[in-house]
Amino acid sequence: MQKSTIAIDTKLPRQDAFGAIAMPVYHTAAYEFETAKAMADAFCGRVLAPDYSRVMNPTVMHLEDTVKALTDAANVFAFCSGMAAITNTLMVFVEQGKNIVTSRHLFGNTVALLNRTLSRFGIETRQVDLLDLDAVRNAIDEHTACLYFEIVTNPQMEVADIAALADIAHEKGIPLIADTTVIPFTQFSAKRLGVDVEVVSSTKYISGGATSLGGLVIDYGTFPVVNQRIRFELLFNVGSYMSPHAAYMQSLGLETLDARYRVQAQNALTLARKLQEVPEIKRVNYIGLEDNPFHELAQKQFGETGGAMLTFDLADKQTCFRFIDHLQLIRRATNLFDNKTLAIHPYSTIFGPFGKSQKLAMDVYDTTIRLSVGLEAVEDIFDDIVQAVRAIP
């Protein structure tokens, strides 16, 4: 079956009492059992049935089942945000005295989670250049818990060679964890490329118009500890499971993901090509452009499309601010893959709390605008950019 069909027609875990077509929102905390034994079986994990919605909820289970069918995963767990999915996944593997090997290019809050939060628990982070595979290999030692990376970094738009990283991780006996938020899991198979655990901010493409926050842990079963710890330890003890309402919104979002993604990715490609012709724009960085240094690798891994995020550079920071202030259609907002096109100056916002030298080390520049391309008519998005670029100070 095609993914677009699976996303819409994955069966509910149980026949609904009223034959509802969509999974109803089970806005409920606890579930009653027929017998003491059935209750004991559920509580002890011998039977997977909801007993308390901190750990399992029918509406959330339906979202998890659909993602499982779409990715051919062993287990899928839904959390209340992308950061919760990342934190819980790392908590499976880390402990005091262990280290995490990762990229010097990472999502801002992930950097802060590693260097500010987890560091207080005695966990070291080693950030290397992921394009230098020898550096990756050399950073891993017997105390390394995992190799963690993002498939396309933001805002640098660096594409990781996933199969090469998988080879290194597996040679060293550690799991490869990929944040795949920026290309939907319906477009490519992280499992086939050797990823052990995929984490996704479902706030982005999946939620369907930025309706809700969410995060997914997609576990391919290669490290059984993931299922053991998340299902029987972390969901209970950390308490960051997805809410039924968010799961409802995200199940609806998943149904239209394929259709939305195709238009957004096509809009991004058309826009990137047109922006290259605008003299005020110094550089357009989009992996879908043929002359992008990562184009070939991106196509090999992710297929024809290059996602809906691009960046471009203007003369200086002041020009960037003036550009943002003059936008009329495009929204001044963070977030990615809303139906609406969004613009942000990453240097002064997402990376605002980092020092100048830290930002330089991360290749975050004050000349860069990040655009998340939406579903509007691409001519209208282009016209808004051109008028804002040309606005008189």
Ligand X SMILES: *Cc1c(COP(=O)(O)O)cnc(C)c1O
* Footprint on this chain of ligand X (rule: CB under 6 A): 81-83, 107, 150, 154, 179, 181-182, 201, 203-204, 213, 215, 336
Least distance from C-beta 17 to ligand X, angstroms?
Answer: 33
DSSP 362: T
- Closer CB to ligand X, residue 215 or residue 288? 215
Decide if 206 contacts 257 (C-beta within 8 A): yes
- Closer CB to ligand X, residue 212 or residue 319? 212
d(CA 340, CA 20): 31
Decide if 51 contacts 42 (C-beta within 8 A): yes
Question: Which three-class secondary structure state does DSSP give residue 164?
Answer: helix
Q: Which residues contact 240 (CB under 8 A, 6 or more apart)?
A: 79, 80, 81, 84, 87, 88
Structure tokens at 162: 């996933």
- Closer CB to ligand X, residue 67 or residue 83? 83
d(CA 147, CA 126): 10
What are the φ/ψ torsions at residue 98 (nearest 5 degrees)? -90, 165
- Closer CB to ligand X, residue 81 or residue 305? 81
Give the CA angle between residues 295, 265, 154 to the nearest 5°.
Answer: 60
- Closer CB to ligand X, residue 220 or residue 337? 337
* Largest CA-CA distance found in the chain, in angstroms, rounded: 74
Task: Give the chain's radius of gyration (CA, Å).
Answer: 21
- Closer CB to ligand X, residue 179 or residue 198? 179
Task: Determine the residue with CB nearest ligand X.
Answer: 82
Least distance from C-beta 180 to ligand X, angstroms?
Answer: 8
d(CA 113, CA 126): 13
- Closer CB to ligand X, residue 78 or residue 336? 336
Decide if 225 contacts 74 (C-beta within 8 A): no
Name the pairing type of β-strands 99-103 and 124-128: parallel
Least distance from C-beta 80 to ligand X, angstroms?
Answer: 8
- Closer CB to ligand X, residue 309 or residue 389? 309
Distances (CA, A) of 123 to 91, 99, 115, 190: 11, 5, 9, 27
Sequence length of the chain is 393
- Closer CB to ligand X, residue 281 or residue 369? 369
Least distance from C-beta 23 to ligand X, angstroms?
Answer: 21
- Closer CB to ligand X, residue 144 or residue 372? 372
Decide if 309 contacts 371 (C-beta within 8 A): yes
d(CA 50, CA 65): 14
Q: What single letter denotes the amino acid at residue 389?
A: V
Structure tokens at 321: 């601010």
Least distance from C-beta 205 to ligand X, angstroms?
Answer: 10
Least distance from C-beta 196 to ligand X, angstroms?
Answer: 18
Q: Which residues contact 231 (CB under 8 A, 6 or more apart)?
A: 45, 75, 77
Least distance from C-beta 354 to ligand X, angstroms?
Answer: 16
